[in-house]
């Protein structure tokens, strides 16, 4: 198999979407919390807590729905700590986020070792997997069939979430107040909307998405939780959101691109004679390069605007 047939294969399309799913959820979580004016960097930690809770609950209850629900609830609970600390106790959300990430890494291992007696992974207690979609005939279409109609349920949930986020932000009162809380919290308070309540709502949504992303890792991508399995995906989601400039569709698009690079780093190991360690740097290097390009383009556009202003 050579490089081109790897890159332009059906498998690449399928797998790149599969690798992008957790990043899509992370980007949505980052988006909605950013819109409410709180940069929640504990998406990373919430994802790992959700992953461990989802995997264990699904194993012991023998149901992926229960696992998914429990994982999301755990993730929402983590986000609620952030909401309580930053909105009610008025701590710095950035530092609290770091604290919660540290807490999450401890909490995940604590849960794991209390339930399974193993600190590394829950491989002996396999989780019940979230199934893949299968529509007769449609899913069997060549090329696009499996890539678009045969993915995991969570992929479609991600697309629905994207639409819901967009609808909520653009078409509802709640969305307007979320954007207001991020844009100018004092102004929002002055017209009688509770900024604190709005932020609680937004962070609950963010927790839900982070939870779904985390559960995908341990309940669909793999069949167990292992420590450190989130591996910076929450942070990459935040980067995708930054690249997408607060636009839900662009953010998800960038999340997909990062996911494709992520799969490229794994899949190209068999076709390229580059050490896998160096291939693994790709998603991160690509994030930095993308941010630099974005910033350069942004700057030149700003300059043009300024010049245009002068002419007029």
Partner 1 sequence: MGSLLSKRFVAFREKEKSYFKSQASLTFVNEAIKTILIIVLCFVAVVTIISVASKDPISALKAFFFGPFTDTYSIEQISEEALPLIFTGVAVCIMNKAGQCNMFVEGGFFLGAFLSAWLAPELAGWPSALIPLICIVTSALASGLIGYLPAKMKSSLHISEFVTSLMFNYIVFWVVMFLLHDFASDPDVANKTKYLESFMKLPVLDEDTGFSIAIFVAIVVAVLGWVFIGKTVWGYRLRMTGDNEEFARYSGINTGRVIVSSQVIGAVIAGIGGAGLMLGGSRYYRFEWSSLPNYGFDGFVIAIMANNNPILSIFASFFLGYLRVGASKMSVLSDVPDQVVYIIQALIIIFFGAKLAIRFVKRRKQKASKKEVTP
**Can you give the binding site for partner 1, defined by CB under 8 A?**
41, 81, 85, 89-92, 94-96, 98-103, 105-107, 109-110, 113-114, 119, 228, 231-232, 235, 238-239, 242, 275, 277-278, 280-281, 284-285, 287-288, 291-292, 295-296, 299
Least Å distance, CB 207 to partner 1, is 16
Output 176 or 185, the one with its CB closest to partner 1: 185
Least Å distance, CB 288 to partner 1, is 5
Return the biggest CA–CA distance within the chain: 71
**Residue 282 · residue 264 · CB < 8 Å:** yes
* H helix or E strand, kind and range, residue 95: helix 93-116
Output 34 or 127, the one with its CB closest to partner 1: 34
Output 107 or 128, the one with its CB closest to partner 1: 107
Least Å distance, CB 232 to partner 1, is 6
Least Å distance, CB 278 to partner 1, is 5
DSSP 89: S
Least Å distance, CB 267 to partner 1, is 17
Compute the distance between CA of residue 122 and CA of residue 64 in angstroms, rounded to an integer. Answer: 16
Output 84 or 148, the one with its CB closest to partner 1: 84
Compute the distance between CA of residue 24 and CA of residue 255 in angstroms, rounded to an integer. Answer: 5
**Residue 240 · residue 251 · CB < 8 Å:** yes
Compute the distance between CA of residue 57 and CA of residue 182 in angstroms, rounded to an integer. Answer: 35
Question: Which whole-number Å values give the CA distances from 187 to 177, 182, 183, in the listed order?
Answer: 11, 10, 9
In this structure, what are the phi and psi dihedrals at residue 258, rounded to the nearest 5 degrees?
A: -65, -40
Listed residue (23, 36, 16) closest to 213, CA to CA = 23
Output 89 or 312, the one with its CB closest to partner 1: 89
Output 231 or 253, the one with its CB closest to partner 1: 231
In this structure, what are the phi and psi dihedrals at residue 69, rounded to the nearest 5 degrees?
A: -60, -45
Q: Is 152 helix (H, G, I), strand (E, B) or coil?
A: strand
Least Å distance, CB 136 to partner 1, is 42
Least Å distance, CB 85 to partner 1, is 5
Q: How many CB atoms lie within 10 A of CB 311?
A: 5
Output 68 or 242, the one with its CB closest to partner 1: 242
């Amino acid at each position: 198999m050579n490089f081109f047939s790897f890159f332009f294969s059906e498998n690449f399309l399928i797998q790149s979407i599969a690798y992008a799913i957790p990043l899509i959820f992370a980007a949505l979580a980052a988006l909605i919390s950013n819109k409410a004016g709180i940069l929640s960097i504990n998406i990373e930690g919430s994802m790992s807590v959700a992953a461990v809770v989802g995997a264990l609950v699904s194993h012991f209850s023998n149901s992926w729905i229960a696992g998914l629900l429990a994982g999301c609830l755990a993730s929402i609970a983590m986000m609620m700590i952030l909401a309580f600390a930053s909105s009610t106790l008025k701590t710095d959300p950035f530092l609290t986020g770091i604290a919660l990430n540290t807490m999450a890494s401890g909490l995940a291992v604590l849960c794991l070792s209390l339930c399974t007696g193993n600190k590394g992974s829950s491989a002996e207690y396999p989780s019940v997997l979230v199934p893949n979609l299968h529509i007769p005939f449609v899913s069997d279409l060549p090329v696009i069939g499996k890539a678009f109609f045969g993915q995991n349920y969570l992929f479609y949930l991600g697309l629905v979430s994207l639409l819901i986020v967009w609808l909520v932000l653009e078409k509802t009162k709640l969305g307007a107040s979320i954007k207001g809380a991020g844009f100018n919290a004092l102004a929002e308070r002055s017209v009688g909307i509770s900024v604190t309540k709005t932020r609680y709502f937004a962070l609950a949504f963010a927790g839900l998405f982070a939870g779904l992303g985390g559960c995908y890792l341990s309940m669909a991508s793999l069949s167990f939780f292992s420590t450190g399995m989130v591996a910076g995906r929450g942070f990459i989601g935040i980067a995708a959101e930054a690249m997408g400039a607060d636009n839900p569709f662009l953010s998800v698009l960038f999340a997909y691109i990062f996911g494709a690079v992520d799969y490229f780093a794994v899949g190209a190991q068999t076709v390229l004679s580059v050490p896998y360690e160096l291939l693994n740097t790709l998603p991160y290097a690509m994030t930095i390069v993308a941010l630099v390009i974005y910033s350069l383009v942004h700057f030149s556009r700003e300059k043009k605007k300024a010049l245009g202003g002068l002419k007029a």
